[in-house]
Amino acid sequence: MSLSLQVPSGLSVLLILGVAAHAADVTVGTAVAHSGQKVNGFIKVPAGVDAGTDMPVIVINGAKTGPVLSLISGSHGTEYGSIVALPKLAQTIDPAALSGTVVILPLVNVASFLQKVPHRNPIDNRGLNNYPGKADGSQSERAVAAIYEQVIQKSDYVIDYHGGDLDENILPFAYWTKTNKEPIDTITRDMLLAFGLDMIVAKSGGGSLDSTVISLGKPGITVLGGRSGTAGTEDVQALVRGTTNVMRHLKMLPGTVPVEHPLWLAHYSVLKGDQEGIFYPVAVPRAYVTKGMTVGYITNFFGEKVSEITAPVSGVLIYINSVPSVKKGDNLGYVGELAEPPIK
């Protein structure tokens, strides 16, 4: 059964002001877009304690007034699904039909992408998901600070895109940061339902982008698509389609949004490697597992089994490590526990 979602009438004053304050010109970094224009540019991060970097940005300034929606991808430069999807999405958006502004950062961790280094920025060995950053810190910290100042603080809504890194065989799913406050929880929940991914995992707080956005009183969600360092057509299309549906839900584009009910997960438990060696998965994402069930094992470098990796809880396998390399403490998988849909 499907349902049509409507933007809640109880939007916060901040969001209403964001709509009213929509300017004729929108400037992000070197991109200056007049009303009805689509412009490319860069957010330039100057050199500091290490090298500077230029992050590409696409600004689509609609011909009609509306909110500012920011789309941010490539915090991990080998999560290729969304890095490919967002430029494709930009090509589909007609500024003449758009109400409001879409700011797209398709790749913020440029060095990770160019050097094919998963998880971290090879320049400073840091991640680019710790907000609000540090203006006088290392390259990653300065980049995050620039995004926070030039994009996050000027947005009304934010979507953070991730996916399966080179070593992660992961299902497309979304995170819902629940605050137990209204109207923010209803707005973010309905954005996720509009996006339309099959699985949603509830979480709380932290230094992630969506948590930071929500702490500012703005709705933010996180979506994941693409796996094991690939950008498959199905995953890319799901991200483009989902984002378009959110824009329709927010009345930025014309059209209605029928949404199927997803599988809700209360949280997930992490499977850890307990020693170094060679990892062999024996279960795949989307498999239902029971507590104590073997989902993989580790051998030493002579091929002798030295450890079994078992599910700590019963639930759905969301992610499993996709490469043989493992050392003690590595994440090898996530098991999500089933929950009731939080729909009133």
Answer whether 291's CB lies under 8 Å from 272's CB: no
- Residue 4 binned pLDDT confidence (cut-offs 50, 70, 90): very low
User: The whole model's pTM is what?
Assistant: 0.90
Lowest mean pLDDT across 38-42, 178-182, 329-333: 178-182
- Residue 260 binned pLDDT confidence (cut-offs 50, 70, 90): confident
Locate 328 and state its tokens: 């003690």
- Residue 15 binned pLDDT confidence (cut-offs 50, 70, 90): very low
Q: At what angle are helices 233-249 and 80-92 packed, to 10 degrees?
A: 50
Q: CB neighbours of 1 closer than 8 A, spacing ≥ 6?
A: 260, 261
- Residue 88 binned pLDDT confidence (cut-offs 50, 70, 90): very high
110-128 tens-digit pLDDT = 999 999 999 999 999 999 9
Residue 59 confidence (pLDDT): 98
**Domains recognised in the chain with CATH numbers:** 2-261 (3.40.630.10), 265-338 (2.40.50.100)
Q: Does residue 129 register a pLDDT over 90?
A: no
Residue 304 confidence (pLDDT): 97
DSSP strand pairing (288-289 vs 315-321)? antiparallel
